[in-house]
Amino acid sequence: MFQSVKGAQGVSFFTPKQPILGGFVKYLDNSKLENINDRSPPLLFTPMKIRSMTIPNRITVSPMCTYSSIDASPTVFHTVHYGSLAMRGPGLIIAEYTSICEDGKFSFNDLGLWNDQLASDHYNKIVEFVHSQNSKIGIQLGHFINNNTTSNTLEPPFLVNTLTTDDIDQMIKNWGDVCQRAIHISKYDFIEIQASHGYIFQQFLSPLWNKRSDSYNENLKGRMSFLLKVIDEIRNKISSDTPIFIRLPDCDKSESKYCLTQEDTVQICIELVKHGIDVLDFVCVNPGDLKIPRYQGKTRFLEKVRHSLKENGLSAIICSPSRILSAREAETILQSGKQDLIVIGSQFLKNPALVTDFANQLDIQITQPVQYSWGFYPTNNHLETLKSKSK
């Protein structure tokens, strides 16, 4: 008889069976808090449910382009990059921008997901290892529009204005197919739609870009109809249990009175939630009042979105990428109700173990990978007894 480490199930390689990483265990013995055994965990390390998906904490890795694919396919770099993040216990990871079509890439080395082989590569190089660590990962999907033109006209020929209705119908179908591929073949846990500046949906939403003469530009409702049809198509192609996130700007980057405003975006959000969006992930560019700090302006906008949803009997998870440097700052934001998730980008590039650092700052112990926990709180829970093989 001898002991062996329990292995994770359903993966093509051996790795120890992991607990749910990044989950609250207890307050540290040296915590300055009184009656620490009776204290609930910090909100930052309190589980959250999004449809059928439960996450152990409120820390999310923002999608960050790495420009490291070959022929739109992930490589071993992606395994190491996302694997190193997954092993340190963020509640969610959103994989970098991935194009739904060959002409929708931002750069030559962007990822793609327009066929089954690419989808399989995503599973083999990214998702399988992340899931082997008992972590959750989604993918940001989009269609970037390159408006470089040699035309001498003042306005380049934006794609939104050149598409026929048949083209639009085909794009709607393509979105559904790609998202189905992402969930069923790549096995991502959720989808994030990239609808911020420079991407196809923003061209439809913005009156500065959208100069169509049909129903897709009759009014704000018409301009948002393409996006809503895409969401409906995605919902028809994936399980109702699968969360859908969307990344939106708060408004156009323009001082024009004809641009997309924050008030427009609030109305768009109401319709997005009605059509099945679970998480609103905002990139905010306009504080609304130049006399106040940018962060305060963003907070006002997020509060306006939440209030308007509530007035319409709706609710959604609201977040926005932030330059948060400490756990106390993150906890304060969550406790205030300004955001429901903490989305962090570049700080994870500097420190993949940021979740552990945040836990230490809050004087708590969180679940760690089996391989890394032995030196801190060794147990035999990871072991199983096996019968020795006869010689």
Tell me the pLDDT tens digit for each residue of 114-145: 999 999 999 999 999 999 999 999 999 999 99
What's the average model confidence in pLDDT over 312-340? Answer: 95
Residues 6+ apart with CB under 8 A from 108: none
Q: Give the CA dihedral 207, 300, 190, 55, nearest 10 degrees.
A: 180
Q: Is the pLDDT of residue 153 over 60?
A: no
**pTM score, two decimals?**
0.92
Report which of residues 359 and 31 the model is more confident about: 359
Query: Which pLDDT belongs to residue 174?
Result: 98
User: Is the pLDDT reported for residue 155 higher than 70?
Assistant: no
pLDDT band at 376 (very low <50, low <70, confident <90, very high): low
In tens, the pLDDT along 61-70 reads: 999 999 999 9
Of 153 and 117, which is predicted with more confidence? 117
Torsion of CA 162, 163, 164, 169, to 10 degrees: -170
What integer is the mean pLDDT of 16-35?
A: 81
pLDDT value of residue 152: 41
Assign 3 a pLDDT band (cuts: 50, 70, 90): confident
What local confidence, expressed as pLDDT, does residue 291 receive? Answer: 53
Mean pLDDT over 317-345 rounds to 95
Residue 297 has pLDDT above 80, yes or no: no
- pLDDT at residue 364 in the model: 96
pLDDT, mean over the chain? 90
Rounded average pLDDT over 248-260: 88
Write down the pLDDT at residue 253: 83
Confidence of residue 154 (pLDDT cuts 50, 70, 90): very low
Would you state the pLDDT for residue 150?
A: 40
Percent of the chain whose predicted confidence (pLDDT) is above 90: 79
Q: Is the pLDDT of residue 378 over 70?
A: no
What is the spatial distance between Cα 368 and Cα 385, in angstroms, rounded to a whole number?
A: 22
pLDDT of residue 39: 80
- pLDDT of residue 389 exceeding 90, the answer is no
Distance of CA 129 to the CA centre of its chain: 18
Lowest mean pLDDT, pick from 31-45, 164-178, 365-379: 31-45
Which pair of tokens denotes residue 279? 């998480």
How far is the C-alpha of 54 from the C-alpha of 142, rounded, in Å?
25
| 116, 181 Cβ separation under 8 angstroms | yes
Q: Give all strands (DSSP E) within 253-346, no chain letters.
A: 279-283, 317-319, 342-344
Q: Cα-flanking dihedrals φ and ψ of residue 296, to 5°?
A: -65, -35
